[in-house]
Amino acid sequence: MRRLTAVLLLVALAGCSKSTTGDNASAATASAGVSTPVAPASAPSGNACDRKLLTAADLSEILKGTIAVGPLQGDPQSCVFTAGDYQVTVSLRPGLGDTTVKTVLSGGENVSATLMSGVGDKAAWTPALNEVNATKNNLLCDIQSPGNAGATQQALGALCNKIFASSW
């Protein structure tokens, strides 16, 4: 605890020094043994639906009938495709892909998941939730369709691959 306090004090002092410039502040932080988190690249605004990365036509094999598309209330990174009693929720979260997939595969979600091949850099399939969590360049693609037997792991994985192939 004392080492952490000392390191934080050094970082604070380096940030307050008049002679420390932006480049020197990074060097001071690095020399103090503190790694500076790298912010993810600026992600485009809007969810997969707003940006037309997926459309109702892309989900026509999974959802039958007229497909409505809309945002997920309270989550600007997610949108929902709905037809009848079924829905598919698509969430894109820059900077969270690698950690999320690792957590899901290690049992951190308290449900069984298996490694999927051919989707992004790495992907997990959670059959109990009918959900794919995939990562590519640390972009999380989370697609779920609970209770919908037409939403197979291959079909949901293909949707993530379509998103990854876009100019995200």
How many other β-carbons are positioned within 10 Å of the β-carbon of residue 77? 19
Task: Identify the bridge partners of residue 142 per DSSP, sorted by sequence position.
Answer: 91, 133
Q: Directed axis angle between helix 22-31 and helix 2-16, to 10°?
A: 170
Report the C-alpha dihedral over residues 129, 135, 141, 147, rounded to 10 degrees. -20
DSSP codes of every residue in 66-94: --EEEEETTEEEEEEEEETTEEEEEEEEE
Q: What is the model's pLDDT at position 150?
A: 86
Q: What is the CA radius of gyration of the chain?
A: 21
Q: Residue 94 pLDDT > 80, yes or no? A: yes
Share the mean pLDDT of the chain.
Answer: 80
pLDDT in tens, 5-33: 332 333 333 333 333 334 444 344 344 44
What is this structure's pTM?
0.73
Domain parsing of the chain, residue ranges: 2-31, 56-165
By the 8 A CB rule, do 120 and 87 touch? no
Please provide the CATH number assigned to the domain covering 56-165: 3.40.1000
Residue 83 and residue 71: Cα distance in Å, rounded? 15
pLDDT in tens, 73-82: 999 999 999 9
